[in-house]
Structures are given as C-alpha cells and as structure tokens.
Chains A and B, each alone.
Chain A
Amino acid sequence: MKKHKLIAAILLGLSLAPAASAQQFEKQAYDKACASCHNTGIGGAPKLGDPNDWRVPVAAGMARLYKSALEGTPKGMPAKGGLEGRNFTNSEIQAVVDFMVDKVKVALGATAGAAPGAAPAGAAQPLPPVAFNFNRLLKPMDKRNLPPSQDGIHDPANDGTLMLQPPMEGMADLTRSRFGNNTDWVASLQGKKVTPRWERDNPFAEAMVMDLDILRAPKAAVQDVVFPHKQHTEWLDCSNCHPAIFVPQKGANIISMPLILLGQKCGVCHGTVAFPVSECAKCHSQKKGASQAAAPPAQKATGKP
C-alpha cells in the first residue's frame, strides 16, 4: 500500500511540479544504484551531465537506452544498475534513465528526452555498432556471484552445496568493482574491509610490504605500465613470483599481452584470480613517456620490456 502511495505521489509530482522537484525520486534512486559508476565514469560509464559521454547513447534512441539500463550491457552496465537497483520496477528504472538524459538534454538538443519508443531526431543516422566485447570469456556481471546451487558447477542435489556460503553474502561488505568477483580485493584490503591472515598459525604476522614501482614502457601505442610491488606484496610472498615467473633483474623479463592471455607472466593470476586483462588501464596507467619527460622519482625503478 505504501508503495502505491509512493508511486502515486511520484506520478502526481511528475505531472504537477516543475522538473527539478519532480526528480526527487529519480535523484535518490540514481544516488543509490547508479552514482557509484556514473558519477565518476568508472569502466566507461557515461558520466552524469557530460554531453560528450551521452551523445552516442542518446543518438541510438531512448528505447535502446532503457533496454541497456534494464538488461545490462556487455560493456559492464549491470542489469538495473546491479544489486542496488534490483528492487526498482522497470518504469522506475526508465524514469532514472530519463533523469540522467535530462541532465544533458540542453547540451545535446531538445529531442533527447523524447517519450519511450518515440523516434529520436538522430534516427535517420545508422545506429552506432555495439562495442565488441573484449573477451567473450568474460561473463556479464549479472551472471556472476550466483549462489553455489545455481552457478552450474556445484551439484544442487548435494547437501553440502547448500551449506556453502553464497558469494554475495561473503563479499557483500567489500569494495565493489565491475570485474572478477565484482570485488576490488586490493581496495578492500587497504580499506580493512577484509583482513586475511598472512600466516596460517600466527594471527599477528604481517606481510613484508615492499613499496617499489616498476615502470615498463611497451613498444605498442598503449600507456606505460606501472607495476606496484606494494599491492602485490600485501597478498603474496616474493617467492610466489620470483624467480619462477619473473626473473628479479632489470630487463630480464619478456612480457607481452599474448603471453599474459595464455596464462603466463602476469596472466598466472590476472585472468584467473586477480582482476582480468579487460581492465587495461589498471596496469597501463601512466602516460606514455611520462617518466622520460620528468626525472623518475626516487622510488621508481625502470625495467625495459
């Protein structure tokens, strides 16, 4: 009953009040379900109010935008914005999409916020192609974090399966991300949202963290790679990587993306248990040649690829 009243109130508000105050609900819903990505543009999410980010999606038509919002996209948009938006109705989600498009309507021209199904002004132009999914093996987010009995590999007929903790429960309090377990393990560890033991028998043992960045300048036209020892040594022992995977010597390691995709070098973990290679910018994080322009900081060691 309460919900009906709320919806009635929203509808009334929409019809009577000027746009700014009618969007109270949409603003709240946006803050809850969408803001974490669309405020900052994480993972290519169109930033709220940035006409450049919204030009292409809006030109493709509102119907398509609604569909992306409701069902998610291979680029990382979770259906209904993920967990937080799961309880919103379809029309509420559409209202939030309208709210987001409204923010750039003026900049893009008045046709952007047309009614659902109405042909946008740009309909004559061919639709922009849907971006090619970088790696077909990477599953869309709404297909992840399923409880063991539904994930396809556990046997639901087994009693023990039902005793296992569902991933969403175990990782609920961690820092979310759009890759891997939908969890940013490094950020969660640094924020003390997860406190894994360093040694089996000694709860007080702490990792020997080494804060040393290694810079690698790939020949290809991609950003330089900054490898941070710090985040790695918080989880791993030196011997996990050295010397078997990486020879601890400047210039001694040949690393390439094909090798990584085949599960070698960084790919021993990145793609299996650590964040996958779809997250290019997490490693290729420094502007090309930036370290040569300025003198490298004292803590930086450079390694030739």
Chain B
Amino acid sequence: MSAPQRWLAALVLGLVLAAPQARGEYGDVVLNRYADKAGVRPVVFPHWFHRLRFTCNVCHSEGGFKMRAGSNDITMGEIIDGKFCGMCHNNQIAWSAEFCHRCHTGRPGLAGGFYGSQDPSGPSGGGDFNQRRH
C-alpha cells in the first residue's frame, strides 16, 4: 500500500469512526415502515421501559405482537382502533395516540429494527444496520 493510499484508508477509517453512532438502549426497536414517508419522526420502542411494568406475556401473547422486529404491520389507524400499542396507549392505561411526539422520538431517516442490542442479521433476523426490514 502506497503512502497516499494509507492516508486515504486512514481518512476513511477516521470518518467512519467519527460518524455519530446510533446506539440506543438494549432492546430498543426503531419503527419506521411508515413514519418517514408520512413526514413524522420514527418511533423508538423501549423494551426496558415496558418490561418494568408488564411481562412479555401482555404484549406478545395478549397483545398479539409477533416476536420479530419488522413482522408487525403497525399503523396509526390500528392503534387508534385499540390494536397493537393502542391496547394500552388509549388514555386509560397509558397516554393516548394524540401525544405523537412521545413515541415518535427517533432521528428522522433512522432505519427500523433493533438498535441497542446485538442485532440478529440472519435471513429472517430482525434486520441489521445495513439491511433493515422496515
């Protein structure tokens, strides 16, 4: 490798390392199937916050959330109808869907999938940094 090439490689590496890293808390899922297109921020769902208050059973068994990032087709219409997030986010158990900016908190343009966790990137994994599913 010649000297200019080395410099270039170092520069690229530096840029990559210096780029702001999306970390998130372990178990954070970003949902951005529709948000960006609709002109709102993506949703960040924090698993840790919810499991402090509810067992997995409540959402993944009673609530019908499939346990795979990207496999739940969640729309605001369904939430307002009391499905998915709307089974609790209805102003009775938790804040209602009118408080947009409490859930739609993600950086615009963020791809969907797990962030804080070690992200399964296999064929049917939850998507990884390069290949998000939604």
Min CB distance A55 to B, Å, is 31
C-alpha gap A71/B106 in the complex (Å): 29
Min CB distance B117 to A, Å, is 5
B84-134 CB contacts (< 8 Å) to partner A: 87-88, 93, 99-108, 110, 114-126
| A76 CB within 8 Å of chain B | no
Tell whether, in the assembled complex, residue A153 and residue B57 are in contact, meaning their CB atoms are under 8 Å apart.
no
CB neighbours (8 Å) of A153 from chain B are 22-24, 28, 30, 44, 106-107, 110, 115
Tell whether, in the assembled complex, residue A154 and residue B122 are in contact, meaning their CB atoms are under 8 Å apart.
no
Nearest chain-A residue to B63 (Cβ)? A200
| B52 CB within 8 Å of chain A | yes
Tell whether, in the assembled complex, residue A236 and residue B60 are in contact, meaning their CB atoms are under 8 Å apart.
yes
What 0/1 readout, one digit per residue, does chain B (57-75) give for beta carbons within 8 Å of chain A?
1101111000111000000
| A276 CB within 8 Å of chain B | yes
Q: Contacts A137-B119, A171-B48, A268-B68: A151 and B124 contacting too (C-beta < 8 A)? A: no
For the complex, would chain B's binding face be called helix, strand, loop or mixed by DSSP majority? loop
| B2 CB within 8 Å of chain A | no
Residue in A146, A151, A154, A185 with the greatest tally of chain B CB atoms within 10 Å = A154
Tell whether, in the assembled complex, residue A207 and residue B52 are in contact, meaning their CB atoms are under 8 Å apart.
no
Tell whether, in the assembled complex, residue A262 and residue B125 are in contact, meaning their CB atoms are under 8 Å apart.
yes
Chain A contact residue count (CB 8 A cutoff): 54
Min CB distance A140 to B, Å, is 11
B1-54 CB contacts (< 8 Å) to partner A: 20-28, 30, 41, 44, 46-49, 51-54
Tell whether, in the assembled complex, residue B56 and residue A240 are in contact, meaning their CB atoms are under 8 Å apart.
yes
> Interface residues, chain A, CB within 8 Å of chain B?
135, 137-139, 143-146, 148, 151-155, 158-161, 163-165, 167, 170-171, 180-181, 183, 185, 194, 196-200, 207, 234-237, 239-240, 261-264, 267-269, 271-273, 276-278
Q: What are 29 of the A-B contact pairs (CB < 8 Å)?
A: A137-B118, A139-B23, A144-B25, A151-B28, A152-B21, A153-B24, A153-B30, A153-B44, A154-B107, A167-B49, A170-B49, A194-B51, A194-B52, A197-B54, A200-B58, A200-B63, A200-B88, A235-B56, A236-B56, A237-B57, A240-B57, A261-B120, A264-B120, A264-B124, A269-B67, A272-B114, A272-B119, A273-B26, A273-B51
